[in-house]
Structure 1
Amino acid sequence: MAIDQLVLKAKEGDDEAFLQIISVLKIDLYKTALSYLRNEEDAIEAIQEVTFRAYKGLKELKEASYFKTWLIRIMINYCNDTLKMQKRMVLNEDLLLTMGKSENYSLMEIQDAMQSLDERSREILTLKYFHDLKIKDIAGTLDCPEGTVKTWLNKALKSLREKLEEKGGMSHV
């Protein structure tokens, strides 16, 4: 059964349908939580908390086709809140390593640059590159026009490049 149909059943009170959806998406939730929190125990706790929040807020979801992005958004918000409490930011190391190899930047330089970005920029980059979401899906998740998402994404990438160039410039001095 398609996720959209399961979401509709879950919204009508079918707990089994909700559990099936979570079962299908648990790996995505885990990867998201782990990329932010960098700790397996914290990631598992995040999945439990996000599952509970999604269950409580399911009736608020307007469009069933956006369930996955809505759920990932809840996870990102939870992780950001957790990180704010811990006063640290953690990134997806695999993406950073890949980016570092292609651009000849060290992992530390990329981590520093990402940490210095504003929250929206980190969020846009995470949705686009960590989750391979399309601009349309990001726009639905953030409840804003696609053009706005494109603008934010371009600004986030430009800021990241500038931060990396600043760091690179300093290391050659």
Structure 2
Amino acid sequence: MNAEELLVKRAVSGDDQAFVKIMQLYKEELYKTALAYLKNGDEALEAIQEVTYRAYKSIHQVRDASYVKTWLIRIMINYCNDQLKKNKREVLGEELLQVQEISEDHSGLEIKDAMEDLDDRSREILTLKYFHDLKIKEIAASMQCPEGTVKTWLNKALKALKGRLEEKGGNQSV
């Protein structure tokens, strides 16, 4: 067992100084991860504070000392994804407005017809999101893929639908 693993074992046992040392060891990697997701230095520093708190609360759950770095990075990624979701609610609201604009400019029949031309995955995602009102998280669970992937697919599907409607109707204002 190496020195880091011994440190983790001490931290899991309740040694606060060992926990602080672990956070010192990985703070740079955690900061880089936060910066990559959040694209803002201040938000990345705030993320480190929050992740430190979350890790401290649940350090006793670490089962394998050799995976503590992965565990910390996973906490950081989850936190960053939560922050991005909060920040993107407005963007998702805009996407919904785009779909509403599409449906205002085209009849339901035109939309269904245009959706028939889309690939199966795009049709499925659009149907789940806008006709069944499922959240991204629920779609990701049902399709067994990451939420980020669903968001990418949804964005592509919306663009493709818009393109199909423009081709069929010649409406360039959408």
Which residue is 1:16 aligned to? Answer: 17
The total of aligned residue pairs comes to: 121
Larger radius of gyration: 2
> What secondary structure, in the 3-state scheme, does the structure 1 residue paired with 2:14 have?
coil
- Which one-letter code corresponds to 1:28 in the other structure? E
The letter for the 2-side match of 1:61 is V
The correspondence of residues 9-158 of structure 1 with structure 2, limited to 5 A, is 9-87=10-88
Q: 1:28-55: per-residue Cα shift (whole Å, max 9, x none)?
A: 0000000000000000000000011001
Unaligned runs of 5+ in 2: 90-135, 138-143, 153-174
Structure 2 counterpart of 1:15, one-letter code: D
Instruction: Give, in whole Å, the separation in 1 of the partners of 2:45 and 2:73.
Output: 14
Q: Once the two structures are aligned, what percentage of the paired residues are identical?
A: 57
> How many Å separate the matches in 1 of 2:83 and 2:14?
30
Deviation per CA, 1:129-155: give whole Å up to 9, x if none: xxxxxxxxxxxxxxxxxxxxxxx9xxx
TM-superposed CA distance for 1:62, in Å, is: 1.3
SS at match of 1:87: helix
- Quote the offset at 1:77 in angstroms: 0.2
**Runs of at least 5 residues in structure 1 that lack an aligned partner in the other structure:** 89-117, 120-151, 161-173
Task: Return the offset for 1:63.
Answer: 1.0
Inter-partner Cα distance in structure 2 for 1:12 and 1:66: 16
Tell me how far apart the structure 1 counterparts of residues 20 and 58 of structure 2 sit (CA, whole Å): 15
Question: What is the CA-CA distance between 1:78 and the residue it aligns to?
Answer: 0.2
RMSD: 3.9
Match of 2:105 in 1: none
Distance 2:58 2:19 in 1: 12
Shift of residue 15, structure 1, vs aligned partner: 0.5
Q: Secondary structure at the match of 2:68?
A: helix
Q: Counterpart of 2:65 in structure 1: which amino acid?
A: A
| Deviation readout 1:6-35 (Å, 9 max, x if unpaired) | 000001111111111110100000000000
SS of the equivalent of 1:31 reads: helix
Which residue identity is paired with 2:27? K
